[in-house]
Amino acid sequence: MQTELSSTTDILVDTTGDDLHQHMRSMSDDVMIIKPEVKTHRRTASLRQRLENAEQLVHKFVTEAEQVAEQAVIKLCTEAWHVCHFNALPKWLQDNDFLHRGHRPPLPSFWVCFKSIFRLHTETGNIWTHGLGAVLFLCLFVYTFITFKDHYTYVDRLMLAIYFCGAITCLSFSTVFHTCSCHSREVSKFCSKLDYCGISIQIIGSMIPALYYGFYDNHAMYLTYITFGVILCIISIVISLWDKFGEPKFRPLRTAVFLAFGLSNVIPGIHWFIVLDSHLFSSFLLFILQGLLYIIGALLYVVRIPERFFPGKCDYWFQSHQLFHILVVLAAIVHLNGINGMVEMRLNVNQLSI
């Protein structure tokens, strides 16, 4: 029976009273020896843990304080920005050295960039000329679709919609570019690509309806010219998206490519003139005028007239880029009138032939 008991019970049962006391005392001595060691060990571990926690806490506070301070400095710098001289700009923001003062410094906040629309600087005119142009074409789009005449076919509506979408896209992308170009090098580069894509979209958006009505009775020629136009459009978009061509030194090359794309309308234009229906002559003249406006605008932009002759005098107003923008909007209005004239004339001819 005794042998089946647990070891503790064995001690109690197998030992006499004296043995028990002695054993208990011995155990007590052992505990007295071990206890301080355990306590010391626990205290050290606890202290180390607390130190680590405190260290983590301090590190966390310091990191948060640094972030808050950094944000505050960025906010202060961007909210309270002042226009600066061309020479004070970082390389990626230096584009036109004939504009001396009034440049925006880098503003690494989209909110601050968009707020800068309402301040005077070298980009104010560029932002508003195309911003208002985009709003104008959006209103004209809505107005045109509200006042559509019943005899307009589905294709007529589609052609006008293509034209409006091209113009609105181009003007909107341009506005975004001029607004955010000072955000950072990366954003500037991306928005520049958008700007050039917008020009390609507008050119093809203008070609499609003009060629459709110009070669209304010659569907094969219409498809040939449109295919040619779409291929050129794709090439110009690829060039726009290619990083290498985003640098300011490639500005003349980019302009030349877009000019070539724009002038690709010349061949179908000459063909159209040869087979021209006399009823469409006024529209033809409008397209010629539109082409001239584009060419004048592009030339002013490339050679930087008038600021080239008046360095530092066109920093805010009347600089070549603003004139180019105004001429682009005027050309778009002229083209719209040309298309409207063709749609009306085509519908009248169709009604007369019925």
Query: Which residue ranges make up the site for Zn ion (CB under 5 A)?
Result: 174
Residue nearest to Zn ion (CB): 174
Q: Which is nearer to Zn ion, 102 or 226 (CB)?
A: 102
The CB-of-237 to Zn ion minimum distance in angstroms stands at: 17
Residue 196 or 225 with smaller CB distance to Zn ion:
196
Q: How far is the CB of 178 from Zn ion (least distance, A)?
A: 6
CB of residue 298 to Zn ion, shortest distance in Å: 11
Cα–Cα distance, 104 to 189 (Å, whole number) = 16
Which helix (H) or strand (E) segment is 22 a member of? Answer: helix 17-79
- Answer for the pair 157, 148: CB distance below 8 angstroms, yes or no: yes
To Zn ion, the closest distance from the beta carbon of 255 in angstroms equals 11
Tell me the closest approach of the beta carbon of residue 71 to Zn ion, in angstroms: 32
What is the spatial distance between Cα 41 and Cα 331, in angstroms, rounded to a whole number?
86
181 or 206: CB nearest Zn ion: 181
Distance (Å, whole) CA 335 – CA 296:
16
Inter-CA distances, 149 with 143, 153, 157, 159, 339, Å: 12, 9, 10, 15, 15
To the nearest whole angstrom, how small is the minimum distance from the Cβ of residue 338 to Zn ion?
A: 23
What is the distance between the alpha carbons of residues 21 and 138, in angstroms, rounded to a whole number? 103
**How many angstroms from the chain centroid is the CA of residue 241?**
12
229-239 burial: b if 16+ Cβ within 10 Å, else e: beebbeebbeb
CB of 169 to Zn ion, least distance (A): 14
CA 249 to each of CA 25, 96, 311: distance values in angstroms, whole numbers, following the listed order: 95, 11, 20
Give the other-Cβ count within 10 Å of 16's Cβ: 8
Tell the smallest beta-carbon distance from residue 176 to Zn ion (Å): 11
Of 257 and 343, the one with the shorter C-beta distance to Zn ion is 257
DSSP 275: T
Nearer Cβ to Zn ion (86/215):
86
Q: What is the 3-state composition of the chain as percent helix, strand, coil, each rounded to the nearest 5?
A: 80, 0, 20
Nearer to Zn ion, 226 or 241 (CB): 241
Q: Closest separation between CB of residue 249 and Zn ion, Å?
A: 18
- Is the CB of residue 315 less than 8 Å from the CB of residue 102? yes
If the CB atoms of residues 133 and 338 are measured against Zn ion, the closer one turns out to be 133
Separation CA 105–CA 140 (nearest Å)? 36
Cβ proximity to Zn ion: between 174 and 265 the closer is 174
Residue 84, strand partner residues: 103
The Cα 147–Cα 211 span in angstroms is 24
Q: Which residues contact 68 (CB under 8 A, 6 or more apart)?
A: none
Q: Which is nearer to Zn ion, 181 or 283 (CB)?
A: 181
Whether the Cβ atoms of residue 178 and residue 127 lie closer than 8 Å to each other: yes
Rounded to a whole number of angstroms, the minimum distance from the CB of residue 325 to Zn ion is: 6
Whose Cβ is closer to Zn ion: residue 78's or residue 122's? 122
